[in-house]
Amino acid sequence: MKPERVKKVKLKSVNNVIFIYFCLLSALLLLLVDLVFYVVVTNILEGQVSDRVVSAGADIAMQLKHSPYDEVDKALFDRYEKDGLHVFLFTTEGEIVETESIISQSDVNDLISRISSASENRVLYSDNGFMNFATRVNYGSNEGVLLVSYPLEVVHNTIGAMQLYLLAISAVVLVIAFIISYNFSQKLTRGLKTMSDKAVCLAHGDYSIDFADADYKEMAQLSDSLNFVRDEVKKSEDFRREILANVTHDLKTPLTMIKAYASMVKEISGDDPEKRDKHLQVIIDETDRLTGLVNDVLNVSKVNSNIGEINLKVFNLTEFLYSIINKFGYLQNSGYSLMIDIDGNLYTRADEEKIGQVIYNLLGNAVNYTGEDKTVYISLKSSLDGSRIRLSVRDTGKGISKEDLPNIWDRYYRSEENHVRPVKGTGLGLSIVKAILQKHSFDFGVDSEQGKGSCFWVDFPAVSSIPDEP
């Protein structure tokens, strides 16, 4: 089953959006190219026609000027007519003197008015589909007006033909753009769709899914993020399974013991106070073990969720450490000794309750794993520059092997070796310590040598004794 969107907003498909925009852009670009082409080519061609009529006009005017006769040489006009130009010679009043072409009276009137109002004795203008150049001339002893015209139709035909070609090319380019944009959008969304399908499989618990195959950088980044999510989900799923298996296993033993000893009290030792006390003590110890286990599991989930937010405040670390050590006082009855070297009145800023859990766990472990001499060394010392306070908890036990060292901070990790355990342990203690100290960004670690013991340490920031304002 696919997840449904909660809010049913009508969303556009990436596919369509890319396709439409790409096509629009291509069409717009082609239109722009066509327009620029039209303007540029028209200007160039019209410029060439203008040059042609002007140079022909100047040429003819020059030859007329140097003619010794009043009669005009017809052959001169013919030469230009053959080149497609129309040449006219008028008197200054507008009467035709010489031409091979036809002109309407209204055009002649227009010409005469233009040349008489022209500032220089010449004028260039386009009219009725012709490019015209008119200039005053002298022929023999007479004065007149010369007009050279060229039909712009030729230019327009050329532009029209070119536009037709351009249109055909544009249509082909547009079709190619359609095909490319369609394929591209399909390819892009295919990748997204594959990822979405894989994400659904992941949601259904298939952790073998690999989001690796991506065609583009951004998609590859998305794949990496999804692979990361997959690994994290898998880790937490593994942890959920592992913790369930371990906790149920750990719950079984004390529960069996409690049941067995309760039955013994009921059936056998009820009347014998000595035996009964012994059996009841086992029940009490096992109940404590259960409580410890449940608390640790609760703490792990608290530390790993937002409920585990840290609540910083300034407190007296020296006094706080003493109060915890006092709770371990009962161990003296079993021959344990706690050797302390603690500087007075050291203050730090941290979450007091959570730091309590850290110290409790470290002390508990040291007691659990210390050697035959049953001694644990606790020190709290200010650094030379006074900026840090180091708490060290050292035992004289077997130490931790190099292979185990990196793993001891993992949830539910326990080294294979058996230890005498006067304080209950669940394999969760150090993972809680690690999570709390990481949340505080405090430095911590362990130095351990096999056969000599281990020393767990934490560096707290030292602060002045002035407590935080409420």
The residues that touch ligand ADP, with contacts defined as CB under 6 A, are 361, 365-366, 368-369, 395, 397, 400, 408, 413-415, 425-431, 454
Q: How far is the CB of 453 from ligand ADP (least distance, A)?
A: 7
Q: How far is the CB of 457 from ligand ADP (least distance, A)?
A: 12
- Under a CB-based contact definition with an 8 Å cutoff, are residues 181 and 202 in contact? no
- DSSP 3-state assignment of 363? helix
Report the residue number, 144 or 453, with the smaller CB distance to ligand ADP: 453
Report the residue number, 196 or 407, with the smaller CB distance to ligand ADP: 407
Report the residue number, 289 or 440, with the smaller CB distance to ligand ADP: 289
Q: Which residues contact 26 (CB under 8 A, 6 or more apart)?
A: 173, 174, 177, 178, 181
Nearest residue to the partner ligand ADP, using Cβ? 425
Report the residue number, 308 or 461, with the smaller CB distance to ligand ADP: 308
Of 435, 440, 458, the C-alpha closest to 312 is 440
Q: Which residues contact 175 (CB under 8 A, 6 or more apart)?
A: none
Report the residue number, 57 or 292, with the smaller CB distance to ligand ADP: 292
Q: How far is the CB of 247 from ligand ADP (least distance, A)?
A: 13
- DSSP 3-state assignment of 118? coil
- DSSP 3-state assignment of 465? coil
HEC string for 385-396: CCCEEEEEEEEC
Report the residue number, 451 or 470, with the smaller CB distance to ligand ADP: 451
Angle (deg, nearest 10), helices 217-267 and 153-203: 10
Q: How far is the CB of 245 from ligand ADP (least distance, A)?
A: 16
160's enclosing H/E stretch is helix 153-203
Q: How far is the CB of 338 from ligand ADP (least distance, A)?
A: 14
Q: What angle do CA 299, 377, 414 make, to 5 degrees?
A: 40
Residues linked to residue 461 through DSSP beta bridges, in sequence order:
388
Q: How far is the CB of 346 from ligand ADP (least distance, A)?
A: 23
Report the residue number, 57 or 427, with the smaller CB distance to ligand ADP: 427
Q: How far is the CB of 299 from ligand ADP (least distance, A)?
A: 12
- For 90, which DSSP code? E
- Under a CB-based contact definition with an 8 Å cutoff, are residues 349 and 461 in contact? yes
Q: How far is the CB of 326 from ligand ADP (least distance, A)?
A: 21
- Round to whole Å and give the CA distance between 64 and 51: 20
H helical segments located in 66-152: 74-82, 105-117
Report the residue number, 155 or 400, with the smaller CB distance to ligand ADP: 400
Q: How far is the CB of 369 from ligand ADP (least distance, A)?
A: 3
Report the residue number, 57 or 399, with the smaller CB distance to ligand ADP: 399
Q: Which two tokens stand for residue 399?
A: 């130490």
